[in-house]
Amino acid sequence: MDISGVFDYLIGFAIMAMIYAIFTLGLNVHWGFTGLFNIGIAGFFALGAYTAALLTSPPPDPTQFEDFIFGGNLAQLGLFDLGIDLWFFVGVAAAAVVCGIVALVIGTITLRLSDDYLSIATLGIAESVRFFFLNEKWAANGSKGLYRIPKFMGDLVAPESYDYFYVVVVLIVLAILFVAVQRAARSPWGRVLRAIREDEVTTAASGKNVFHFKLQSFVFGAMIMGIGGALFAHHVRFLSPLTFDPLLATFVIWAMLMVGGSGNNLGAILGAFVVWGIWAGTQFLPGIFSDPSFRLLMIGVLIVAIMLLRPGGLLGEWRRIVERRPASATGREPAGPD
């Protein structure tokens, strides 16, 4: 492989790692800040990806597809014909909205109950979403998958340099989301979330509506995951229900957050790069290390080991920094729950 080949590979790697970083940020909002236990990331991943893909794809061609009939001619309507690909943005926004609505429904049902119900329900959502796209061939071509998902900006960018362009797009989205999550986490709102994580009863006793805060956090995180799914759809440009198996769409993301340190946004992004690096890097190793079953085993062992040894993740939260900051001059308490 020559130098430019290596560079192309690294760009592809960076795109996937950054998309995973978006999911890890979303999961950090759920688990890291609020203690919400979402093991159905794959469900939001798939919903976001399919929503964006179906909104932007050309209508299915009856000569190519037998059962697949859904999917509008939306992008061809010329509604937003401003010279740039606004449908991409519509798709990304719609992905976030769809995931937010699903999270709102599931959260409203389960978040009033004890914590564990949410996790079981998210598992159910992930599986149900997969069953839906697997069985309802009219919606997204079933197991044969959706292809012909358009590139962002269509043919305006030369096909061979699409990845170079797209890596910037993903970077911008990741940066925006990072800033948003970071600000949210440091806001009074974020402090309430962490208070809930640490002690729900005390938070409720100090007059916070725990259910509402949890619901907001769940919806917020799910929307971020939806955006990640949408970016994934326009990167890989092929979706099938098999893409969203629990291993690559849920467990790997948990491993990323665990490595990065839950509660730490920068750590979440770092964790995504490290774990994806190990994942992609070990593909080239001989023997057992590139065996998917062995990797599955190792991810499981990693999660258990971190739960046993460092439940806050390897990097941990930045709470120490907060604590070291002297009480502010205005006399307010430094970040309460920490």
Partner 1 sequence: MGLSMSPGRISALLAAGLLILGFLPFIKLGLVVNGLILGSVIALGAIGLTLVYGILKLGNFAHGDYMAFGAYVAFFIVDGVLPRVGIEGAGLGPFTFGFPVLIALPLAALVVALGAIALDALIYRRLRDRAASTAILMMASLGVAIAIRGLVQLIWSGETQHYPRESRQVYHLPMDVRIPPDGLFVAVLAIILVAGVYALLTHTKMGKAMRATSDNPTLALVSGINTKQVVWWTWGIGGALAAVAGVLLAVVQAQLLPIMGWKFLIPLFAAVILGGIGNPYGALIGALVVGVSMELSTQWINPSYKPAVAFAIMIGVLLARPRGIFGDAP
Query: Helices marked H in the chain — which ranges?
Result: 3-27, 34, 41-56, 86-110, 115-135, 137-140, 162-186, 188-198, 200-205, 210-236, 246, 252-260, 265-281, 292-309, 319-324
CB of 256 to partner 1, least distance (A): 14
Decide whether 86 or 304 has the Cβ nearer to partner 1. 304
CB of 136 to partner 1, least distance (A): 9
CB of 252 to partner 1, least distance (A): 10
Residue 44 Cα to chain centre, angstroms: 8
Decide whether 59 or 312 has the Cβ nearer to partner 1. 312
Decide whether 115 or 323 has the Cβ nearer to partner 1. 115
Decide whether 63 or 114 has the Cβ nearer to partner 1. 114
Decide whether 79 or 247 has the Cβ nearer to partner 1. 247
C-alpha to C-alpha distance for 25 and 193, rounded to whole angstroms = 15
Q: Can you tell me whether residue 2 is helix, strand or coil? A: coil
100 and 49 Cβ atoms separated by less than 8 Å: no
C-alpha to C-alpha distance for 8 and 2, rounded to whole angstroms = 10
CB of 22 to partner 1, least distance (A): 21
CB of 66 to partner 1, least distance (A): 17
Q: Which positions lie near partner 1, rule CB under 8 A?
A: 31, 35, 37, 39, 109-110, 112-117, 119-121, 123-125, 127-128, 131-132, 134-135, 246-247, 251, 254, 291-304, 307-308, 311
Comparing CA positions, the residue from 80, 26, 38 lying closest to residue 227 is 26
DSSP string, 217-273: HHHHHHHHHHHHHHHHHHHH--B-GGGG-HIIIIIHHHHHHHHH-TT-HHHHHHHHH
Torsions phi, psi of 146, nearest 5?
-95, 125
CB of 158 to partner 1, least distance (A): 40
Decide whether 58 or 316 has the Cβ nearer to partner 1. 316
